[in-house]
Amino acid sequence: MKPSTLLIQQLEQREAVIGIVGLGYVGLPLMLRFSEVGYQVLGFDIDPLKVDALNAGRTYIEHISAEAIGKALSQGFSATADFSRARECDALILCVPTPLNKHREPDLSYVVATTEAIVPSLRAGQVVSLESTTWPGTTDEVLRPRVESTGLRVGEELFLVFSPEREDPGNPMFSTRSIPKVLGGVTPVCTRVGEALYGQVIDRVVTLSSTRAAEMTKLLENIHRAVNIGLVNELKVVCERMDIDIHEVIRAAATKPFGFTPYYPGPGLGGHCIPIDPFYLTWKAREYGLNTRFIELAGEVNANMPAWVVGRVADALNARGKAVNGSRIMVLGIAYKKNVDDRRESPSMELMALLREKGAEISYSDPHVPHFLPMRKYSFNLESVPLTPATLEDTDCVLLATDHDRFDYALIKAHAPLIVDTRGRYQEPAPQIVRA
């Protein structure tokens, strides 16, 4: 029996062992889904604290419960930092970060290091799937040569696919199962194996002609959002100068039943995708002598939003006879989007850093992030402040950066002396509320 035929049979009968490499916001929900339908799952991560927590039935992601981890453990899941155990797996799904370096160029170090960690343990009859967002050609040009260095032929003995992650933490309307899965294989046989892998856990698998097409699809999704958010952020600045409420305009435009999709302004872009992924295409396009002007312009607008917001804070304080230097400023919400605990690339981090540089005394309140754990670029020795009449009245300014539903907005309005609202949460004008 051909290796592909045997592997497809194992996957369809749910007898295959699934290896999830990278147990973060993408890998952990995927692990739970494979475990839920009856696969034996082995999780890999370089962080021993994550491995120990999972094996003890603890969670480190707010929207994933300890009960869900415990159920997966009872169904055979285990976590390890020993990458030599990749040989035990029939499928290896790579869910590792793909950040930018300081020059806004792709940093594939996690993908490369992970691939090289599993290469010594690869064997015939395995499928390797990359889920990390990256530039078109990565699977063919970066992964394929490394896995074929084993002597195994891709498409005949070993199978290689790209299937970009599509997660929306905090959105109860969609789950790992219900979000359609885009998939492209290096060869048609690889694609068929990939369909067998994901078809057991995802309601709809959308197959494409190549890994490059699948890689480009993910970039298009995030570029679409980045460009439109950049547009509406630019319009926000224009509307502020014209004394027009941009949120009122967006609400009115959204009543059009065709040809318009509402996007909303904010203090900048956040999360692991939209601030980063478009520049993977910008970088790759240069290889073909092309300039991606829309992407670059949107990136420039979005990257400048934190500084613009800080300027609005300074103006609002000045109008009350205060300077930023020495003012007590509480940032509401430091996660990158509402109702989650994920701080990756959150514009709140940059807002806090800019305000601190100008001499402000910074505090924050976020019900989803009780303690500020150091990040790659930012470190604040702070804990979340409870929202009470006393804590609000003790500020000079409350900066609403992330509009979590758990905030008591009536309480904030009643007791904060100044509110700078970057999310349009307060629709009715009030003397102490400034839009930013």
Distance of alpha carbon 170 from alpha carbon 328, whole angstroms: 30
Answer whether residue 336 shows pLDDT above 80: yes
Residue 172's pLDDT is 81
Distance of alpha carbon 196 from alpha carbon 190, whole angstroms: 10
Whether residue 95 lies in the annotated active site: no
Answer whether residue 373 shows pLDDT above 90: no
Query: Could you tell me the CA-to-CA distances from 196 to 7, 11, 186, 239, 242 in Å, in that order?
Result: 9, 6, 15, 51, 56
Domains, in order of start, for the chain: 3-213 (3.40.50.720), 266-435 (3.40.50.720)
Residue 77's pLDDT is 98
Answer whether residue 227 shows pLDDT above 90: yes
Average pLDDT, the chain: 95
Of the residues 89, 239, 273, 397, only one is catalytic, namely: 273
Pairing of strands 361-365, 419-421: unpaired
Residue 174's pLDDT is 87
Query: For the segment 384-394, what is each residue's pLDDT rounded down to a tens digit?
Result: 999 999 999 99
Nearest to 134 by CA among 100, 174, 170, 180: 100
